[in-house]
Structure 1
Amino acid sequence: MAQSRRAVVIGGGIGGLTAAAALHQSGWDVTVLERAPSLEPVGAAISLAPNSLRALDVIGLGDEIRDLAAWQGDGGLRTPSGCWLSRTDAAAVAARFGGPLVLLHRATLVNSLAALLPTGAVRTGVAATVADPGDTDRPARVSTTDGDLEADLVVAADGVRSAVRRKLFPDHPGTVYSGFTTWRVVIPVPGAEFASHETWGPGRIWGSHPLKDGRVYAYAAAITPAGERAPDDEKAELLRRYGDWHDPIPAILDAARPEDVLRHDVHHIAEPLPAQHRGRVALVGDAAHAMPPTLGQGGNQAIEDAVVLAHHSDDLAAYTAARLPRTVAVARQAVKVARLNLMTNRAGIAVRNTTLAALSKVAPALFLRGFEDIADWRPPQRPYASRQTPADNHQRSTPREGRLHRTR
């Protein structure tokens, strides 16, 4: 009986756990090493587009996540006064992109991914880095606080500040500050009923979205110097910046406690890496292509990486060839969108808003076209896609599909 191959995953976030699940289903013996004391992620939500949901279908998780999540699309884009610049609905979005956009708490997704792994596969409270990336004639070696591990494959999913990325590509400049900071809250807001929206103001944005569990996910972004923090607390900072914007923003801010507000500066990889692998080590997610959150694709691209890596686990050059052009293109588009929705020039904002409103009324399909190349992606493995369409009336049209296998 052939000895199973060993994979070590550094990082127990969404990309790392998806890779671990996909590799486990391909027959790999997988160990996940997470620095934090638990897998509980920072309290925020994640938007999953049809591209990443198809990837989750590959590991048999797509329909479960669709069931647990709120469908997005009923809402649109607004100005700070509340004027609608564009309106969309979930059925139209699903029809355009071949499936829904959904929103759920990150913890829900993490728990579902971890449940696909065997008992003991995840080790928390273990810091790890790559001591030797290995090569065709020797395994990789991972150094941990509990000792060294050898592996036939190492998956580096250690995030935007990836130590593994620095080890593999020491001459790469790393990340740069994207020019803005973000705030996020996930809270109950009693009595709040509203359509999902993103609101664009001068150098600032706000988004409000209901979750399926009754809570509200809200996020904000603003152009600020790197490292700047509120002189009092971040709730007070949000009130100063967004307190006079349209409903339901004041109600959400009123319901939030200072300790509910998370703030993080945004960094991205401006100069693409030369590859998403070296030796026996493959980079996934933010470690490989950190990008601004303006397309909502950071986690989605990590999930794509994971299932493509499982497909090309015997040929990491093929993994890089499959992923690098796409992730570079998506990251560059996210940077362009950040410049568009965080504009500060009032004349430019007026032109932008007029154009968006006209497109939404005259040719709404054109308004969605820029996202098509992203959302239309298909994984190399089958089965994929649950073939949900608006005609399904938001109901599952096919049963949960099978486990990972290679296309022959």
Structure 2
Amino acid sequence: MPGPSGPSRTAGPSGRRRPRGLRRWAMDTRPLRRPAYRRLWVSTAVTAVGSQLTAVAVPQQIYGITGSSAWVGAASLAGLLPLIVFALWGGAIADAMDRRRLLLITNTGIAVTSVLFWAQAATGLDSVAVLMVLLAVQQAFWGLNAPARSASIARLVPEEELPAANALGSTVMQTGQIAGPLLAGALIPVVGLAELYLIDALALCVTVWAVHRLPALPPLDATVARRAGLREILDGFRYISGHAVLLLSFVADIVAMVLGMPRALFPQLAAETYASYGEGFALGLLFAAIPIGAVAGGLFSGTFSRARRHGWMVIGSVVVWGVAVTGAGLSDSLWIAVAFLAVAGIADMVSMVFRGAILLSVATDEMRGRMQGVFTVVVAGGPRLADVLHGTAGSAFGPRTAVAGGGLLVVVVMLALAAAMPALRRYRV
């Protein structure tokens, strides 16, 4: 018979032994034991770092050509519209065809675009128009790629491992946002911009190989003829409106990002509030704090990836995000502000993990691509809307007031939403 420390004390609902000690806190790596998911994760890891090389190189090259930050901002907007349009369309396509095949096509397209980036830099073309066109094409391919990539996860791991799989993917993406720019900054003086593009292109070859090794992922019901037009895209929005939990998961992210993402105010905070620490030093810490917190949250995701009340995890993490952003705005110490922003990053990681798990669990397979397409648009568009909102508020009321006020609004709106619409707080696996 098992004693006090036997299975009766450590077995979970499915009979699997629960991790104990430090393993209970560490990242849940069970999905990596599954070869198909591991290949998808490897492709994500390579893309996460490589894409950041290009993300640094393009604005650096445009600024070098024009000497104008306005052109750098215009290039960012040039990439946003294709991303939105093709993410929505890509979601419909991902529901209509083999997702592995779509990933192969789009990753190849992204790799070819990186080669073209390298070619224009290596030949000294120095054309902003060419750079903006290539950026738009690259973002279009990325918009087509992202929904298929995310929707595929639910076919590669069991439902109970979806939070862990999302935590693994989100952690490596956040790590790429830190390591990629640092690597780019170190490589540009040594190898130059052209070679940076080439490194990204070569890395994408690894991504294409990893995706090629995935199993086929066709629609589950092959007898039904599927299309990917405007009607199917609109069907996706109707599907969201008919499922309160899905709708609220999107709204929660919009509340957090639009009202509470303060990155547009970091330059002003560095120049005015934290200038005594060194403007450049302060700016770097402010931008790095949220991703560092997110990576830390991912590394210790064993503390939350096995939670069952996914709805409450989303609500709680958004509220913590708002409280942490408020604390950062109220702080006149750079180090305390950075600590609050790191906590906000942890909360953002938790929110991302469980919103992703809800999307993959609630949506049927025939709708997952379209749900992930909307998810991509929300994730990409929310912070950009926040830049406009916070930039305007910072000019009118001062940066600290705008940051603290935005965080407070997140808390109030999220709690009101949770009280008024119980579907999210009642949802559990």
Higher percent of residues as helix: 2
For this structure pair, what is the TM-score category when the shorter chain's length is used for normalisation?
under 0.3
Q: TM-score, normalized by length of structure 1?
A: 0.27
Q: TM-score, normalized by length of structure 2?
A: 0.26
